[in-house]
Every structure is written in structure tokens, then in C-alpha cells.
Amino acid sequence: MLGKTSKSKGPEKAKGSSTNPIAKKLELAKKYNLGKKEMLEMLSNIYTSRKTDDAEISMKKQSKAFFQISGAGHEGILTAAAMVLKPKHDWFLPYYRDRALCLGLGVTPYEMLCQANGNMGDTASYGRMMPAHWGNKPLNIVNKSSCTGTQFLQACGLAEAGIWFKKLRDEHKVDVSGMDFHDDEIVYVSTGDGTIAQGEFWEGMTTACVNNLPVLFMVEDNGFAISTPTSVQYPEGSISKTLANFPGLKIFNCDGCCPIDSYATMTEAAKYIRTTRKPALVHATVTRPYSHSLSDDHGMYRTKAELAEEGLRDVFNAFPKFLIEAGVITETERADLLKKVSADLKTAMDKAITTEWPALDTVMDHLYSEEVDMTGSNFETAADFTGKDDVPMASSINKVLRTEFHKNPLLRMWGEDVADFFDKARLDNPELKGKGGVFKLTANVQRESKDGQVFNSPLAEANIIGRAIGMAIRGIKPVVEIQFFDYIWTAYMQLKNEMATLRYRSGGDFKCPMVVRVPIGGYLKGGAIYHSQSGESLFTHVPGIRVAFPSNSADAAGLLRTAIKGDDPVMFLEHKHLYYQGYNRAADPGDEYMIPFGKARIAREGKDATIVAWGALVQKSIEAAKKLEAQTGKTVEVIDLRTLAPYDFEAIKKSISKTSRLMIAHEEHKTSGFGGEITARVNEECFELLDAPILRVGALDVHCAYNPALEDLILPQVSHVEEVLAKLLSY
């Protein structure tokens, strides 16, 4: 691990004027207290990083590693960054080229080579992630996924968490001694020149500047995104020129191939952020002497002359050459250092290759929380119904949000229009009632919580989820809202590839427990294609996510409180049509009422057939069952699953062991809907209990139309359920 620089005596100034490049670098080194000791530390880290790359390449050729992507050419700026920034103090979201940074912060070559081999010496993921996917909880290096661009919004969330802890301590007088934060902390997030083409880079940049977040955006510009040059990616081929007039952003440029220039730049950038608490961007020009990865051959699109010229700039060659020519070290010292580093890497590689692989019986570990079981009896709380007038589902959800936010300052909520007001000065204005969400479900939550606990987000779904992941990593419990399910797809990368995987891919070292509330479904006249979608199976299919889908007021209250108090990410799907219905109202169950996930409710007893449903289809199934009973005398049991991940398969099995007939009714499209999963499992495990084929009711496999008559035909109605149920009973 690279330490902070001391004021050790630097080398003697080289002969010649200060216009001499060597002399100018020595003057800069002296200005920033970089002596021989510090520059040797730099060279050692550069050599170690490059030789670790080479060791991985060797392992790949031996089939002892299964992927390789190098940090070659980036070592100068990253070594400097590691010397300036503080492990265990600052926070780091490095991208896959940042090997030298992580080595400088304290990760060992052995740990990196263990990741290449996929064994238990890999402290970033314990055999779950590819090489160059950094993570180290003690050093505050957040586990990295393979996604490009998701890290910027998460960095904003990490920074916002630190600001919130400080606000709780200083303004609200809340004891936050158990939270890991520092008043001058920096959140480092890095990227190559290719990834800044991603929209979330610009969302993250805007969020950081609007909110004055202490984020250091590191752009390591090696000129190519695989084979695509920077000249075709953004104006003038320079991100720093493109952002030159971006309000609220301080920009620093440096030669990332020169560790001394990089150190000077990083020192100034870090000083700026620690002092102003505002974001900065460091644009470092570097090289890429190796191909993008071992799956790429840059000789197919870069000439030998271009590569030779770049080789002269390569820090692995240029920096020791400078040190020798400047008289800082001798050729013998350089050779001895490289020999020692190479020998150490050989030892680390031999050890890594023989380190044990994960035990096969751990394959399902860390998928969900091992601390808080949301499906267990510890979450089952008896209802204390007040006996007051029944309230609609919307009011029940609102009550839970108001009471839980009032009690817990570590809860935070944001989304589009969820706050009562966009600034606290309007809270006491008698002329204004406040917004509180487009369906009024978050009304007065801002009023009844601490200043800053509830706020509005930009009109950007990925922004909402990415920031939530960052905050959740640091111990805040986000309860965020996506305004309409139909527009959740821009956030799907963050939800599926980031939120759902973090605990598993880090071997339990990191987690992001959070609640994502989403109005879903149709049956609202005029909703049309983009306000009527159902797609719960897109989330039940993702390991690591809990999915709740209540059908009534009491269940919504109990499940939402469980989600908030749980330790896993939850998709809390709220059917818009059910918010203010009369048939699903219930008395207030009290401020402690909770329902465990994975426990179904018998909505109607019966003995001749079973209907499994959720959301809006629960009531429609009950009505159809009543009609069939009146016509035939046969009774139908209706099971409200309430949660889909996990779902109560035992309740289904118990019911069909009595009725011998099963129908599944849901609003989602019939093809590939969640009913198909239940059907398959019943067929595999309970086939002998059935006296008839399993039948399904779902929406037609077409988009929901605006015309009311077409909508009634597309979405499942009571008549559709009744028709299929009659067929099931008569089989």
C-alpha cells in the first residue's frame, strides 16, 4: 500500500534550465515533496501492476485463469491517485483498468490473482466475479460489476450518504457514531473514455453538480473504446473540452503517463474537493499498450507505428527512463526493483494457483440476507386493528410511510414528485397543500420527517435507483418510488445487474437493502400502452430481489412495513386500480403490523377448485367464484399469493391436495407470465394431485389499447375468469 509522501530530500536538480523537460519534472516533484523514496514507491507500484497483468496473462495461457483485462498504460495516474486519496476514509468505485489504484490502496497481487483463478483467496468476490472486478470492504473499495456506466450514480449516492450523516449529526442532533463517514471524505469514481458516452455518466455529473457532491470523476483516456477512437465519441475528442463550461464542475487535466504530473494534479483536485465539498473531474491522458482484453487484438485496427509511438509514452518505459536520466536512481536500482517485483509476483501466482476453490455447497450463499429473514416468524406481528373506519389501500400505504419515516432518520425517500414541496420554505405556506406524489401516496411524509429526508428526483428512473444503491451500501434505507411501472425500464440495468447482485457478487461483504415502490397495472380507462403495463415476471426472474404485490389495504400495510424493516432489495408493486377501491379497504392494523414474505392468504375457502391470483385478479377471481358457486353449487378456493418472490408454494400444494384442480389468474400477458412458472412447478412436484389440466388466465399477448372496449378485451375481466373456471370445473 502506498503511503502519504514524506518531506524526504529529493534528487539533485538536473543540469540545464527549467525549460528542460527533466528539470521541469524535478521542479514539480520538489514542489510536491516527491523525493527518491516516493518516486521509487511509485515505480514499484507501476511495476507491480504491470507484472500482475502479465501474471494473469500467463495464468490464462495455462488455463489457470479464464479471462483477462489489463490496466496496462494507466498505472501513472492511478499510482498517484492511490498516494493522494485515503483508503478506509474515502470511498472508491474503480473501473476495470484501476489495478494500480487498488494495489496502491492496499489490495495485494495475490488477492488479484486469486480472482483470476476464481478461488477463495479472492477477497473481492470469493470466486464469483471475473478478474479486474475490484472490491475490498475494509478499504472502502465498493465491489464492481461488469456494467459500464452504472457507477456514476452510485457514486452520487455514496456521497449523499456521507452528507446526510453529517446533517443528522450537526443539524438534527442524531447519534450517527456507528456510521462510517468523515467530514472531508471524497468519493472516487472512474471510467474509461468510452463509458462516458453512457447517459448515466451525464446524469451522475448533473446530479453531483446540482447537489454539490464531493465526487472525483476520474476519466482515464487511452484514446480507444475497444476499437472506437475518442474522436467519434464526443465533441473535439476531449471530454474536458466538452465539459469546459459545465456549471459547478472543476476540471483538471494531466498527463496520466507521468506520475509526477499526475500526483500534482491529484493533490490539487483532492484539495479542491475536500475544501469546497464540490465535484471535480480529472481528465488523464494515458496509453493502452495491450489490447482491450485477451479477447481483442488491437493489431487489427492500430498500426505498428502507432503502437510503437505509444510505447514511448507508456509509463512502464517512460518513468524509469526519466528517473535514470534525472539521476534519481541508477540502472542497477531499476533492474533490481523490477527483479524483486517479478519474483514476488511469481510467488504470488504460484500461491494463487494452489489456493482452494469455493466449496460447491456455498453456491447459494449470500443471495439474500442471512441476518434478517423476511420470510420467518420474526416478521409476523399480530394485527391490532383500531376499529376505526376502513381505509383504502392508498391511505394504508401512506400511513406506513409517515409513521416509519417519523421514527427512523436513516430512511430516505425520493422520486418524481414524491415530496410535498421542492423546498422546505414552502412547507408552512397556508396557500399550498403540497403534491405528495401523483397518486397522493407520499403526501405529508416530507412534513412528518426530518428536513432533507424526503425530496424530489430528476425525471430519470436510473438516477433514482443508482443513487439508492449508493446510499444503501452505506447504511441508509432508501424507500424510493418509480412513478409508473411503464417507465421503469431505463432503471432496469441498475435494478437487475446492480441492486440484485451486489450481495452475492461480493460474497456478502456489501449489500443494498432498499424498497422500490412502483404503481403498476391497468383497468384505468384511458391508460393505454404506457400507463397500463404489468411485468412482474421480469423481476421474479431475477435472483436476489424480493417481490411483493398486495391486493388490499391491510396486506399493503403489513408487507410494506416488512419490506422497510427487511435487509433485502424489494420491488413493492402497488396496483393503481386498487388504491381507492371500496372492496379492498380495511381497518388500520396499527403501527407495528407486519406480514412475512412468502405467506399466502386464503381469500376465499373452497373445495372443488383452486384459483391462485395476486393484485387486481384476486377480487375478480372471488367474483367469478361466487358466480360459479351460484350456478353450480361448487365452491372455489382463492389464494392471494401477496408476494411472488418468494411465493407460498406450500399453500398452493395444500389447496390442490383438497381440490385437485388449479387455475392461475394474473393481469400480466399470458405468455411467459409468472403463472407459467407456477404451472411448471406444480406439474413437476404435484402432478399426481391433479384431476384436470392446469389452466391460466392472463392478458392477451398484445399491448393495452386506449379505447375502453379494446382494453376490456385485452385485460382479463371477471367474465374471462368465469369462462376458464367453468371449463376447469367441468373437466
Other C-beta atoms within 10 Å of 417: how many?
17
Q: Are residues 574 and 641 in the same domain?
A: no
Other C-beta atoms within 10 Å of 141: how many?
26
Apex CA 673: angle with CA 625 and CA 709, to 5°?
A: 65
Apex CA 513: angle with CA 360 and CA 414, to 5°?
A: 150
Cα–Cα dist 90/105, whole Å: 11
729 with 696: CB under 8 angstroms?
no
205 with 249: CB under 8 angstroms?
yes
Cα–Cα dist 91/473, whole Å: 11
Three-state DSSP string of 648-676: CHHHHHHHHHHHCCEEEEEEEECCCCHHH
CATH classification of the domain holding 232:
3.40.50.970
Q: Coil, strand, or helix at residue 198? A: coil
Q: Are residues 166 and 239 in the same domain?
A: yes
638 with 603: CB under 8 angstroms?
yes
* Strands 454-456 and 411-415, bridge-based pairing: parallel
- Nine-digit cell string for 442: 407520499
Q: Are residues 71 and 139 in the same domain?
A: yes
242 with 280: CB under 8 angstroms?
no
144 with 135: CB under 8 angstroms?
yes
Peptide bond between residue 21 and the one before it cis (omega within 30 degrees of 0): no
Q: Are residues 557 and 612 in the same domain?
A: no
Q: Are residues 384 and 351 in the same domain?
A: no
Helices (H) and strands (E) in the chain, counts: 23, 19
pLDDT at 6: 47
Cα–Cα dist 207/213, whole Å: 8
DSSP H or E segment with residue 580: none
697 with 666: CB under 8 angstroms?
yes
Whether residue 49 is contained in a domain is answered as yes
Q: Give 3-state DSSP helix, strand, coil % of the chain, rounded to 5.
A: 45, 15, 45
Q: Where do we find the cell 457532491?
A: 213
Cα–Cα dist 439/512, whole Å: 27
Whether residue 103 is contained in a domain is answered as yes
116 with 63: CB under 8 angstroms?
no
694 with 683: CB under 8 angstroms?
yes
Q: What is the pLDDT of residues 223-242, one digit of tens each?
A: 777 677 777 777 777 899 99
Task: Point out the domain boundary residue: 547, 578, 609.
Answer: 578
Q: Are residues 605 and 574 in the same domain?
A: no
Q: What are phi and psi of 338, to 5 degrees?
A: -65, -40
Cα–Cα dist 621/663, whole Å: 10
Q: Which of 130, 143, 195, 15 is nearest to 510 (CA)?
A: 143
CATH classification of the domain holding 629:
3.40.50.920
Whether residue 476 is contained in a domain is answered as yes
End-to-end CA distance of the chain: 73
Q: Which of 343, 312, 352, 320 is nearest to 46 (CA)?
A: 320
Cα–Cα dist 294/226, whole Å: 11
Cα–Cα dist 643/665, whole Å: 15
Cα-trace Rg, the chain: 29
DSSP H or E segment with residue 493: none
DSSP H or E segment with residue 478: strand 477-481
Residue 548 forms beta bridges with which residues?
572, 643
Task: Point out the domain boundary residue: 563, 578, 593.
Answer: 578
Q: What are phi and psi of 730, to 5 degrees?
A: -90, -5
Cα–Cα dist 674/722, whole Å: 20
Cα–Cα dist 36/29, whole Å: 10
Q: Are residues 71 and 169 in the same domain?
A: yes
Other C-beta atoms within 10 Å of 301: how many?
14
Q: Are residues 324 and 451 in the same domain?
A: no
DSSP 640: E
Q: Does the annotation mark 531 as catalytic?
A: yes
* Strands 662-669 and 609-613, bridge-based pairing: parallel
Per the structure, the complete domain to which residue 518 belongs is given by: 377-578
Q: What is the pLDDT of residues 67-115, one digit of tens each?
A: 999 999 999 999 999 999 999 999 999 999 999 999 999 999 999 999 9
- Nine-digit cell string for 415: 422520486
Cα–Cα dist 578/549, whole Å: 11
Q: Which of 466, 472, 517 is nearest to 495 (CA)?
A: 466
Q: Are residues 383 and 291 in the same domain?
A: no
pLDDT at 7: 47
Q: Are residues 208 and 283 in the same domain?
A: yes
pLDDT at 295: 73
High-pLDDT (> 90) share of the chain, %: 85
Whether residue 16 is contained in a domain is answered as no
538-571 in b/e burial notation, b at 16+ Cβ within 10 A?
A: bbbebebbbbbbbbbbbbbbbbbbbbbbbebbbb
Which whole-number Å values give the CA distances from 729 to 659, 660, 720, in the listed order? 10, 10, 14
- Tell me which residues of the chain have a pLDDT lower than 70: 3-18, 226, 294, 377-380
Residue 91 forms beta bridges with which residues?
187
115 with 129: CB under 8 angstroms?
yes
528: left (phi over 0), alpha (psi -120 to 50) or beta: left
Other C-beta atoms within 10 Å of 99: how many?
29
pLDDT at 679: 98
Peptide bond between residue 646 and the one before it cis (omega within 30 degrees of 0): yes
Whether residue 456 is contained in a domain is answered as yes
pTM: 0.95
Q: Where do we find the cell 406480514?
A: 595
pLDDT at 222: 83
Burial of 151 (0-12, 13-18, 19+ CB in 10 A): buried
From 366, 531, 575, 669, the catalytic residue: 531
Three-state DSSP string of 382-412: CCCCCCCCCECHHHHHHHHHHHHHHHCCCEE
Other C-beta atoms within 10 Å of 7: how many?
8
Cα–Cα dist 369/716, whole Å: 36
* Strands 228-229 and 224-225, bridge-based pairing: antiparallel
Whether residue 371 is contained in a domain is answered as no
- Nine-digit cell string for 558: 403489513
41 with 8: CB under 8 angstroms?
no
Cα–Cα dist 377/148, whole Å: 40
515 with 524: CB under 8 angstroms?
no
What is the count of structural domains for the chain?
3
Q: Are residues 283 and 389 in the same domain?
A: no
Whether residue 716 is contained in a domain is answered as yes
Q: Are residues 548 and 606 in the same domain?
A: no
Cα–Cα dist 549/584, whole Å: 14
Whether residue 137 is contained in a domain is answered as yes
pLDDT at 558: 96
DSSP H or E segment with residue 645: strand 643-645
